């Protein structure tokens, strides 16, 4: 909502500026133009992240040992992958002094975001069989990389003293992208106060999305540097969500040793442990051990509920424009 208010205010200010201009040049007729630019976006809306590897999107801190190991604080982890860098090239066609269309091809790389975190949780202790107790601390970080196409309709507001403000609205169509989730787990085993073992586990999961469409709106201005060359600046708001389609574990190591691609790895032996198909509903027909224990097939991808992440942001784009 704040982003929309900001955009509306900028639009009103720009139109007021154009309306006060005493000399307006509308010499631009039908023509092609091309733009090359780079952007930085800030996130504008934070939502709760999805479950990561069976872990709720929380920041949990445990304290105490053995029977006294208790959760002492919990914080929801929220955010958006709308913060990050983008580069792109745009082809535009101006079919009148006031109206045109653009098609942009963009590459976007988001900043890493913490999706779940746990500190010092007791996960294994049975004094009847062993005096050893194992604790785990982990952090899961996510990052999105994507290519998208963005067709839009452009309204030019008139040229004055080399400046030509404009507005545009359009859609965002991702054509390829992944969400990479890197998780670092530290397993510490103690006997009494003495640490007897430590395992540092690392995994990288790659989530591929279902097709989706988003919305974008921008306001900007160009400034003539020569007969064909202009500099431009845009403020853009965009918003869309991405639903997961599949997930695959690409890397898994313990203390730096590959445990994913070795013949003795338990993860290698179970196809379902490293492959997931996301579905909208889990029931007795799903390939999920909890809902279908008798029909669960380890040789097929695990079924898990589909989740989504948000990519909403407000960004500034700077670049150059070449008109034919």
- C-alpha–C-alpha distance, residues 41 and 148, integer Å: 15
45, pLDDT greater than 90:
no
| Domains in the chain, number | 1
The pTM of the full predicted model, rounded to 2 decimals, is: 0.83
Cα dihedral: 78, 81, 82, 88 (round 10): 180
CATH number of domain containing 234: 2.40.160.20
* Average pLDDT value for the chain: 87
pLDDT of residue 303: 92
- C-alpha–C-alpha distance, residues 44 and 238, integer Å: 9
pLDDT band of residue 21 (cuts 50, 70, 90) is very low
pLDDT digits (tens, 9 = 90+) for 180-238: 999 999 999 998 888 899 999 999 999 999 889 999 999 999 999 999 999 999 999 99
Which comes out higher in pLDDT, residue 158 or 269? 158
Tokens of 180: 């990479």
Which one, of 206, 176, 211, 210, lies nearest residue 275 by Cα?
A: 206
Cα dihedral: 61, 63, 68, 72 (round 10): -50
Would residue 251 count as lying in a domain?
A: no
16, pLDDT greater than 50:
no
Would residue 73 count as lying in a domain?
A: yes
Which comes out higher in pLDDT, residue 50 or 2? 50
Contact 111, 163 (CB under 8 A): no
- Burial pattern 146-161, b for ≥16 Cβ within 10 A else e, equals bebebebebebbbbbe
pLDDT band of residue 241 (cuts 50, 70, 90) is confident
Instruction: Give the structural domain span for 222.
Output: 2-243+317-323
């Amino acid at each position: 909502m704040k982003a929309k208010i900001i955009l509306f205010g900028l639009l009103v200010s720009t139109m007021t500026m154009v309306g006060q201009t005493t000399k307006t040049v509308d010499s631009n007729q039908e023509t092609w133009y091309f733009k090359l630019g780079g952007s930085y976006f800030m996130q504008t809306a934070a939502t709760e992240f999805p479950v990561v590897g069976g872990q709720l999107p929380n920041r949990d801190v445990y304290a105490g040992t053995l029977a006294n190991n208790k959760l002492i604080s919990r914080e929801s982890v929220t955010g958006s992958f709308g913060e990050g860098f983008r580069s792109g090239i745009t082809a535009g066609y101006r079919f009148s002094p006031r109206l045109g269309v653009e098609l942009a091809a963009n590459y976007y790389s988001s900043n890493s975001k913490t999706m779940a975190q746990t500190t010092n949780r007791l996960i294994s202790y049975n004094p009847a069989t062993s005096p050893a107790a194992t604790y785990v601390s982990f952090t899961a970080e996510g990052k999105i990389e994507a290519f998208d196409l963005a067709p839009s309709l452009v309204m030019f507001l008139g040229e004055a003293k080399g400046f030509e403000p404009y507005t545009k609205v359009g859609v965002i169509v991702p054509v390829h992208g992944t969400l990479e989730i890197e998780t670092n787990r530290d397993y510490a085993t103690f006997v009494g106060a003495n640490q007897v073992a430590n395992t540092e586990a690392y995994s990288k999961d790659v989530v591929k999305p279902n097709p989706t469409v988003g919305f974008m709106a921008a306001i900007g201005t160009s400034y003539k540097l020569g007969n064909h060359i202009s500099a431009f600046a845009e403020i853009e708001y965009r918003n869309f969500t991405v639903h997961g389609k599949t997930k695959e574990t690409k890397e898994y190591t313990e203390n730096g040793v590959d445990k994913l691609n070795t013949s003795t790895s338990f993860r290698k032996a179970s196809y379902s442990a490293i492959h997931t198909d996301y579905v909208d509903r889990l029931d007795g027909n799903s390939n999920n051990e909890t809902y279908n224990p008798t029909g669960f097939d380890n040789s097929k991808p695990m079924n898990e509920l589909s989740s989504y992440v948000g990519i909403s942001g407000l960004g500034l784009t700077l670049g150059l424009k070449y008109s034919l």
